[in-house]
Amino acid sequence: MKNEIALKYGCNPNQKPSRIFMEDGSKIPVTVLNGKPGYINFLDALNGWQLVSELKNATGLPAATSFKHVSPAGAAVGLPLTDVERKIYWVEEGELTPLANAYARARGADRMSSYGDFICLSDVCDVATAKLIKIEVSDGVIAPGFEPDALEILKSKKNGSYNVIQIDSSYRPEPIEHKQLFGITFEQGRNELKIDKDLLKNVVTVNKEIPDSAKLDLVIALITLKYTQSNSVCYAKGGQAIGIGAGQQSRIHCTRLAGNKADNWFLRQSPKVLGLQFLNDIRRADRDNAIDLYIGDEYLDVLAEGRWQSIFKVKPEVFTREERRAWLDQMTDVSLGSDAFFPFGDNIERAHKSGVKYIAEPGGSIRDDHVIETCNKYDMAMCFTGIRLFHH
C-alpha cells in the first residue's frame, strides 16, 4: 500500500527533500499515471479537484477548472457553446462532449492566465476533452479516471512527460485539517460549507428577481471563490467564471482586476476581434497575446513600431476606446460573487461597468446600507449569504 509520493523539490528547486504523504499511513488517494508532478502541481490539482467536485454536486453538470499558482484562472460547467464561444475558445472543429465544453469554457475565459495551467476535471476524461488538452500548453491534469484512448493521447503530450493524475473520487479527508508554517502547526475544521441556491434567499435590494440562470452563475462564482486565494471576487455568466480577481489586499482591486478580465472576455466576441486575420503559422499563445494587445491601448504602439506585420495578414483598424466602451455597454446580466463583504459602494460602481446585474456577498459591513443603495441605483439584485469564503 503506497502512502507517499516523492517529489523532485518543493516550491523552488532549493527546497529539498519534498514529498506528499498520508500521516496516518493510509493509502494515498492519488495515482500518477504519467509524468512526475511537482509540489505546486499537487497544490493546484487537489484544490482544483475539490472545486470541480463541488460544482458537479451543486449543478449536476460536468465541471472543469484551469488552475495556476493555487487559484483558478477559469471554472465552468458543461453547457453547450455558442458558435461565437467556439470561435473565441479556438474549438471550432470537432464534436464536443459536455466535459469538453466545460474545459473549453474554463480554459477560454482567461487564456493568458491559463497558459501552463493544471487542469482539473469532475468526470472521467473522454477523448474529446483529451484532444482539447493536447493542443494547449499545460502542466498536467487530474480526473477520477481516463478513457483508454484519452489516456494515450495525454501520455503523448510533452514528449511523454505530461503529468496525468487519477484521484479516488470516493476519498473523504478527515474533518480536521492541519498545515505547518515556520515550524508551527495550524489546525482548523475543513470548510465543508455546502454552496447551493439556498444561500441566495436573502435578497436585500429593491429588485428581488434573480432568475435561475443567474442563480447558477452565482453558485459557480461562490464555489470558485471557495478555492481562490483571498481577497477574491468572481464575475460569472452563462455557466462559467469570466473574470477572477485573486489574492489582492484591497477588495476594490479584486473587483477591478476581475472586471477587466470579464471585459476582455466580452471584447473578444466583438466583430472587430472576430474579424482579425492572423498569419497561418502563428502559435496559439501568440494569437492570444495579440488579441490582448489589440483590445487595449498598447495596439497603438504595435502599429507605430510596425509589429503588426509579424502577427496579421491584413493591418487591423484601431479598436478605439469609444468603440470598446460601446461594445461593453451591451454586456448585461452578469453575476458577481465576493468572498467577503463589500466595504464601499465603489465596488458596485465598478461592477456596473461590466454589466453586473446580480450579486452574492456575505454582508455585515458597517456600510451595507451604502452598498445596497448603490445596487438600487442600478436596479441590481443583491443577496447576503451570511457566509465568508476566505481561502489561504
Contact 306, 214 (CB under 8 A): no
Backbone angles phi, psi at 201, to 5 degrees: -80, -25
Q: One fold for both 4-172 and 193-267+328-384?
A: yes
> Is 392 assigned a catalytic role?
yes
Burial class (CB in 10 A: 0-12, 13-18, 19+), 216: buried
Fold of the CATH domain 276-318: Helix Hairpins (1.10.287)
Domain 193-267+328-384 belongs in CATH node 3.40.50.11060: no
> Hunting for cell 519534498 — which residue is that?
18
Q: 352 an active-site residue? A: no
pLDDT at 293 over 90: no
Integer Rg of the chain from CA: 21
Q: Are 193 and 387 in contact (CB under 8 A)?
A: yes
User: Right CATH number for 4-172 from 3.40.140.20, 1.50.10.20, 1.10.8.10, 3.40.50.1820?
Assistant: 3.40.140.20
Asked if 8 is an active-site residue, the reply is no
CB 205 within 8 A of CB 374: no
* 148 membership: H or E segment, kind and range: helix 148-155
Return the number of other C-beta atoms located less than 10 Å from residue 188's C-beta: 9
Which of 68, 226, 237, 352 is catalytic? The answer is 68
The pTM assigned to this predicted structure is 0.96
**82 residue type, one letter:** T
Give me the catalytic one of 47, 101, 163, 231.
231
Torsional class of 159: left (φ above 0), alpha (ψ -120 to 50), beta (otherwise): left
Which residue, 148, 154, 110, is CA-closest to 133? 154
Range with lowest mean pLDDT among 29-43, 50-64, 268-282, 377-391: 268-282
Measure the CA–CA gap between 293 and 288, rounded to whole angstroms.
9
Residue of 14, 159, 208, 392 with catalytic role: 392
DSSP string, 149-196: HHHHHHHTGGGGT-EEEEE-TT----SEEEEEETTEEEEEE---PPPS
Strand pairing report for 184-189 and 176-181: antiparallel
Our answer to whether residue 231 is catalytic in this structure is yes
> What ranges do the domains of the chain cover?
4-172, 193-267+328-384, 276-318
345 class by beta-carbon count within 10 Å (0-12 exposed, 13-18 middle, 19+ buried): middle
Find, among 215, 168, 226, the residue nearest to 192 by Cα: 226
Q: For 82-106, write each residue's pLDDT tens digit.
A: 999 999 999 998 889 999 999 999 9
Residues 6 or more apart whose CB falls under 8 angstroms from that of 216 comprise: 59, 77, 239
Q: Is the pLDDT of residue 51 over 70?
A: yes
Catalytic residue among 69, 87, 158, 353: 69
Q: Which range, of 88-92, 136-140, 304-308, 328-332, averages the lowest pLDDT?
A: 304-308
Give pLDDT tens digits for 227-272. Answer: 999 999 999 999 999 999 999 999 999 999 999 999 999 999 999 9
Q: What pLDDT score was predicted for residue 309? A: 83
Neighbouring CB atoms inside 10 A of 378's CB total 14
